[in-house]
């Protein structure tokens, strides 16, 4: 589905460029809707176009279909060139800066002459940004801070993008049967929230390597080949904001396990293992484990760890945070596994700002092998997101009950993402909340206004199941709330309310450091994708990955409970 994602990004870029150009808002929204449609398609646009079914897709008219077919035919879209060449190249990337929308960017361009990030920084430094009507010093300072965050974030890419790229390339490599083994390595395999370069390890016979290097460097869409050596090759592939480097390392099958351990890392974990090996009269490297001149391990990772007297250590734990010592003592904790997850505890439907019907959610949950999904649409204060009134929430509840009738093995849970208001009260009264199975209490406004106190007050309500995205950060460029998380965690520990690990790749909130703190305090964690579309349900893998990096076990996570266990949580707190 790579082409669907490529075209969705192009349509979003066109919509952004139109907004900066000051075009009619209806045109801007039309391209954004087209992007959402493409992201949600269950079939590839290549197939739809080839079978002459593209114009039958709801929301894709002749004009959009022509543009899609042009791109599929030529690799270019004239509308993108037409709109983007009318504005300075450096303006579109500024849309990633929190606090800057298309209309504000147009103003700083037209009124201050800002054409790129450097110009925006100068305008902030000389005070002209703050003097712009409607901005002020505080907002200008926040824009500058967000710009700094964005520039730091651009040095690395999200785990979602890294995994997506790695899996696309691995799918290409697997089509050649001469690869004996393949795996991602490095930060991707350790599931870090952001990644530098993308590393892939392969085992192959020496006589096949020239062919396999050519197969790798021939990946469709490669913009440059940096290196094409017998043991290491590097390519650059295009991305929306530049290029991404992907490295392939080729090793003999007899060395594959040792190389996979070595190139997975982390550096600190590997240093610890080398010290252990030395103490035991061994030598460990990417080629194997050796006693003198004799190789005693190498083909598999399990052999490598066993040679050092260790059980296999999960890749996500390999950060030298005590995992080696615990493994030596036989006390390595069993981290939660993807198969332990029985459901998603934060999903939006088309009753608010989601793209899935309740039936869509039910069928997607069944396909994933879940036992339940909690439908948690926005509450009434989130009018911008189609927040539900009490009456609509009640109607939704009845529809969920109807869909659950006669259900075998899967149920929709009645839930809501309820705003925590400025005084700490919730957007719905208790008489409404008590009818729900799962309540996510979240802050969506007033990020700098008594956030800690508001969360603590929400935690005191026994009808609240979890606090949604507790820090409010966006990895790509938003610091989040002004919150004292230690006080919030203390309150969560006392009340027994869970905290959310929001699995959306740009949130991953709580992060692994906070999750480790929560685990030590005995606080339960709920994992929710917070998704608004079917494809977003797959974000659960990133939530589980971060949970494993924090050493969370099955017992630490609400999603490992059956549906009946989720429903009983509020009753337990009310006793």
CATH code (residue 476): 3.20.20.140
CATH code (residue 269): 3.30.210.10
CA distance 293 to 521: 49
Identify the domain boundary among 328, 351, 381: 328
pLDDT, tens digit (0-9, with 9 covering 90-100), for 292-313: 999 999 999 999 999 999 999 9
Q: Is the pLDDT of residue 149 over 80?
A: no
Q: Is there a single domain that holds both residue 419 and residue 304?
A: no
- Does the pTM surpass 0.85? The reply is no
The answer to whether residue 333 is domain-embedded is: no
pLDDT, tens digit (0-9, with 9 covering 90-100), for 326-357: 999 999 999 999 999 999 999 999 999 888 99
The residue with greater pLDDT, 221 or 536, is 536
Residue 333: strand, helix, or coil: coil
Q: Is there a single domain that holds both residue 172 and residue 186?
A: yes
The answer to whether residue 15 is domain-embedded is: yes
- What residues have CB less than 8 Å from 230, skipping those under 6 apart? 206, 209, 210, 213, 250
Tell me the CA distances in angstroms from 354 to 5, 36, 164, 402, one per residue in order: 18, 11, 23, 20
CATH code (residue 109): 1.10.150.110
The answer to whether residue 415 is domain-embedded is: yes
167-180 average pLDDT score: 97
The answer to whether residue 181 is domain-embedded is: yes
Q: Is there a single domain that holds both residue 295 and residue 222?
A: no
Q: Considering the chain, what percentage of its residues have pLDDT values greater than 70?
A: 97
Task: Output phi, psi for 411, to 5 deg.
Answer: -135, 150
Q: Is there a single domain that holds both residue 554 and residue 419?
A: yes
Q: Is the pLDDT of residue 19 over 50?
A: yes
The answer to whether residue 492 is domain-embedded is: yes
pLDDT, tens digit (0-9, with 9 covering 90-100), for 74-115: 888 898 888 888 888 888 888 777 777 788 888 889 999 989
Query: Could you list the residue range(s) of the whole structural domain that residue 506 is in?
Result: 338-574
Q: Is there a single domain that holds both residue 125 and residue 52?
A: yes
The tokens describing 28, both together, are 């801007």
pLDDT, tens digit (0-9, with 9 covering 90-100), for 89-99: 888 888 777 77
Identify the domain boundary among 289, 305, 328: 328
Residue 60: strand, helix, or coil: coil
Q: Is there a single domain that holds both residue 32 and residue 7?
A: yes
- ∠ at Cα 70 (64, 74), nearest 5°? 155
Q: Which long-range contacts (CB under 8 A, 24 or more apart) does 303-306 make?
A: 303/257, 304/257, 304/258, 304/261, 305/261
26-31 average pLDDT score: 85
Looking only at the bridges linking them, the beta strands covering 498-502 and 372-378 are unpaired
Mean of per-residue pLDDT scores for the chain: 91
Residue listed under structure tokens 């003999």 = 252
The answer to whether residue 51 is domain-embedded is: yes
Q: Is there a single domain that holds both residue 436 and residue 541?
A: yes
Q: Would you state the pLDDT for residue 456?
A: 98
| Of 206, 205, 211, 199, nearest in space to 175 by CA | 211
Q: Is there a single domain that holds both residue 387 and residue 525?
A: yes
| Domain total of the chain | 4
Q: Is there a single domain that holds both residue 416 and residue 449?
A: yes
The answer to whether residue 445 is domain-embedded is: yes
Q: Is there a single domain that holds both residue 322 and residue 433?
A: no
Is residue 273 within 8 Å of 324, Cβ to Cβ? yes
The tokens describing 530, both together, are 């917070």
The answer to whether residue 189 is domain-embedded is: yes
Q: Would you state the pLDDT for residue 1?
A: 47
Q: Is there a single domain that holds both residue 411 and residue 559?
A: yes
- What residues have CB less than 8 Å from 180, skipping those under 6 apart? 202, 203, 204, 205, 253, 256
Is residue 384 within 8 Å of 377, Cβ to Cβ? no
Q: Would you state the pLDDT for residue 60?
A: 84
Q: Is there a single domain that holds both residue 300 and residue 442?
A: no
The residue with greater pLDDT, 66 or 39, is 66
CATH code (residue 193): 3.30.460.10
Identify the domain boundary among 328, 350, 368: 328
Q: Would you state the pLDDT for residue 169?
A: 96
């Amino acid at each position: 589905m790579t082409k669907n994602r490529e075209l969705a990004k192009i349509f979003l870029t066109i919509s952004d460029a139109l907004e900066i150009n000051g075009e009619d808002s209806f045109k801007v929204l039309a391209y954004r809707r087209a992007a959402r449609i493409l992201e949600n398609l269950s079939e590839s646009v290549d197939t739809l176009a080839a079978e002459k079914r593209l114009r039958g897709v709801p929301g894709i008219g002749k004009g959009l279909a022509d543009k899609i077919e042009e791109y599929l035919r030529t690799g270019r879209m004239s509308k993108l060139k037409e709109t983007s060449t009318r504005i300075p190249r450096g303006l579109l990337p500024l849309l990633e800066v929190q606090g800057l929308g298309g209309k504000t960017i147009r103003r700083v361009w037209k009124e201050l002459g800002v054409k790129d990030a450097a110009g925006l920084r100068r305008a902030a430094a000389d005070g002209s940004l703050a003097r712009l009507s409607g901005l002020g010093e505080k907002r200008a300072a926040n824009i500058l801070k967000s710009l700094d965050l964005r520039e730091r974030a651009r040095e690395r890419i999200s785990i979602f993008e890294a995994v997506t790229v790695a899996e696309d390339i691995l799918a290409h490599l697997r089509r050649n049967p001469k690869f004996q083994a393949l795996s991602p390595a490095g930060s991707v395999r350790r599931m870090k929230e952001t990644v530098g370069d993308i590393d892939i390890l392969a085992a192959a016979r020496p006589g096949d390597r020239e062919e396999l290097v050519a197969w790798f460097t021939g990946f469709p869409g490669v913009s440059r080949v940096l290196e094409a050596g017998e043991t290491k090759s590097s390519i650059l592939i295009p991305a929306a904001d530049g290029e991404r480097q992907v490295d392939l390392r080729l090793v003999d099958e007899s060395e594959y396990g040792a190389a996979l351990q070595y190139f997975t890392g982390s550096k600190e974990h590997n240093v610890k293992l080398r010290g252990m090996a030395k103490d035991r009269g061994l030598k460990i490297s990417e080629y194997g484990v050796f006693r003198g001149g004799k190789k005693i391990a190498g083909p598999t990772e399990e052999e490598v760890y066993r040679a050092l007297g260790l059980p296999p250590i999960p890749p996500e734990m390999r950060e030298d945070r005590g995992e080696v010592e615990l493994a030596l003592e036989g006390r390595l904790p069993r981290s939660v596994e993807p198969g332990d997850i029985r459901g998603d505890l934060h999903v939006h439907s088309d009753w608010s700002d989601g793209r899935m019907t309740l039936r869509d959610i039910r069928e997607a949950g069944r396909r994933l092998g879940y036992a339940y999904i909690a439908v948690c649409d926005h509450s009434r204060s989130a009018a911008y997101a189609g927040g539900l009134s009490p009456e609509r929430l009640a109607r939704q509840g009845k529809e969920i009950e109807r869909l659950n009738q006669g259900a075998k093995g899967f149920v929709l849970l009645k839930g809501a993402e309820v705003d925590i208001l400025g005084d700490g009260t919730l957007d719905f009264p208790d008489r409404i909340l008590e009818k729900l199975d799962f309540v996510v209490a979240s802050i969506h406004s007033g990020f700098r206004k008594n956030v800690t106190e508001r969360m603590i007050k929400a935690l005191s309500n026994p009808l609240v199941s979890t606090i949604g995205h507790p820090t409010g950060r966006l990895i790509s460029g938003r610091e989040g709330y002004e919150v004292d998380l230690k006080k919030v965690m203390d309150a969560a520990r006392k009340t027994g309310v869970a905290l959310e690990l929001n699995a959306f790749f740009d949130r991953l909130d709580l992060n692994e450091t906070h999750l480790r703190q929560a685990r030590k305090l005995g606080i339960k964690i709920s994992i929710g994708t917070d998704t608004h579309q079917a494809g977003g349900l797959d974000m659960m893998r990133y939530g589980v990955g971060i949970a494993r990096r924090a050493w969370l076990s099955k017992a630490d996570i609400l999603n490992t409970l059956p549906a009946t266990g989720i429903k009983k949580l509020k009753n337990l707190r009310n006793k």
